[in-house]
Amino acid sequence: MQAFLDQVAGFATDRVAPAAAGWSMGQSPDAAIVAEAAALGLFGMEVPVAQGGAGLDFATRTQACAILAGADFGFAMSLVNTHNIALRLCQIAPPDLRDQYLPSLLSGQTSACTALTEPGTGSDFAAVTTTARQHRDGWRLNGEKTWIINGRHAGLSIVYAQCASPGDASGIGAFLVDLTAPGVTRYAIDAGFAQTSMGTGGFRFNDVALPTQARLIAPGTAFKAILTEINAARTYVAAMCNAMMSAAIETVQSHGAIRHSFGKPLNAIPSWQSHLADAVAALDASRAVTAKAVALVTNGEDAQLAAAEAKIAAVTSAQTHLPELLQLMGAEGLRPEHPFTRHLAAAQIAGFTDGATNILKDRVEKLTAKQRT
């Protein structure tokens, strides 16, 4: 376990961090680095050994994701999204579908994604309008998914689609979609900052033919299944935000020891130190909440409240303190070889993915109100 995490740390320091500066300015991760990630077993961390994975537990997977995110959140998110589809195939796909796609996911040849969000709906997942209609030899898929991690290059997706009437949460099913199939078109999404290492993009489905067995989760259970799965995602995203904070704090600490101003090192200036101390305290608090969620998810216990609290704490802490940490660096902090600007953008993204912060706050309020009564 520790040997694996040490290897991941070496990969993050030696390969991911140096490349991330280029990714933050629009370059894309190359095939060599993806192959190295695959050789390390990063696409099969929680996949059972019998299926060619490493059979690690959720806690170890989360630590690996966090180590990678300390160097580049986008690259880590891209890897873990492919990993999640590999894991789902092992958990819920018919064996022949699993065996058809799993080897190319584990080898990094094919990337994959989970597609819920649409142009007209994000937070309100029950309102998805992509439809899957039964056809004599299977299903026909129509609609559009947008803001999807790995959307630019993914070969495979689990797509959530409405099988009944619009707005009916119990009518939503989940379908395995080969994104190279006729009728699928894709587009890249750019923001005011580069999205290349995350591969953000979208798809349009125009009467895409799916075999009967492509329906992985039947209507009636897909809505609940995604809400359960999302607790794990919220938890590892929290750990990834903590890792970005930690990387930024370490960089500031090193800089503060060597950069002099008015004849003394920055770290000898009380007001400079006090901002750093605030960030360290916030990180410690956020790590404690995250550890609780990691333990619950790892043990298969109810993590709904803990995962939401962890993500709120970690995202808010990163969004609050990363700008202050950048400020402590002076102009030097803007250089792309330092992680501040890409981690800032990533903290904003983390505030949307797997449940926007407002939505999570409302969830926490509802769950704790229940506990109070």
Residues of this chain that interact with ligand FAD (CB under 6 A) are: 113-117, 122-123, 147-149, 198, 200, 349, 352-353, 356, 358-359, 362
Q: Smallest gap, in angstroms, from Cβ of residue 371 to ligand FAD? A: 21
Identify which of residues 261 and 358 has a Cβ nearer to ligand FAD in the complex: 358
Give the residue with the Cβ less far from ligand FAD, 252 or 349.
Answer: 349
Least separation in angstroms between CB 317 and ligand FAD = 18
User: Which one, 48 or 120, has the nearer CB to ligand FAD?
Assistant: 120
Residue 268 CB, nearest approach to ligand FAD (Å): 40
- Among residues 85 and 296, whose Cβ is nearest to ligand FAD? 85
Q: Which is nearer to ligand FAD, 290 or 353 (CB)?
A: 353
Nearer to ligand FAD, 310 or 328 (CB): 310
Question: Please, which residue, 255 or 343, has the CB nearer to ligand FAD?
Answer: 343
Least separation in angstroms between residue 9's CB and ligand FAD is: 25
Q: Provide, rounded to whole angstroms, the least separation between the CB of residue 185 and ligand FAD.
A: 18
In the complex, least distance from residue 304 CB atom to ligand FAD, rounded to whole angstroms: 17
3-state secondary structure the chain: CHHHHHHHHHHHHHHHHHHHHHHCCCCCCCHHHHHHHHHCCCCCCCCCHHHCCCCCCHHHHHHHHHHHHHHCHHHHHHHHHHHHHHHHHHHHCCHHHHHHHHHHHHCCCCCEEEECCECCECCCHHHCCCEEEEECCEEEEEEEEEEECCCCCCCEEEEEEECCCCCCHHHEEEEEEECCCCCEEEEECCCCCCCCCCCCEEEEEEEEEECHHHEEECCCCHHHHHHHHHHHHHHHHHHHHHHHHHHHHHHHHHHHHHCEECCEEHHHCHHHHHHHHHHHHHHHHHHHHHHHHHHHHHCCCCCHHHHHHHHHHHHHHHHHHHHHHHHHHHHHHHCCCCCHHHHHHHHHHHCCCCCCHHHHHHHHHHHHHHHHC
Name the minimum Å distance from CB 252 to ligand FAD: 26
* Closest residue by beta carbon to ligand FAD: 122
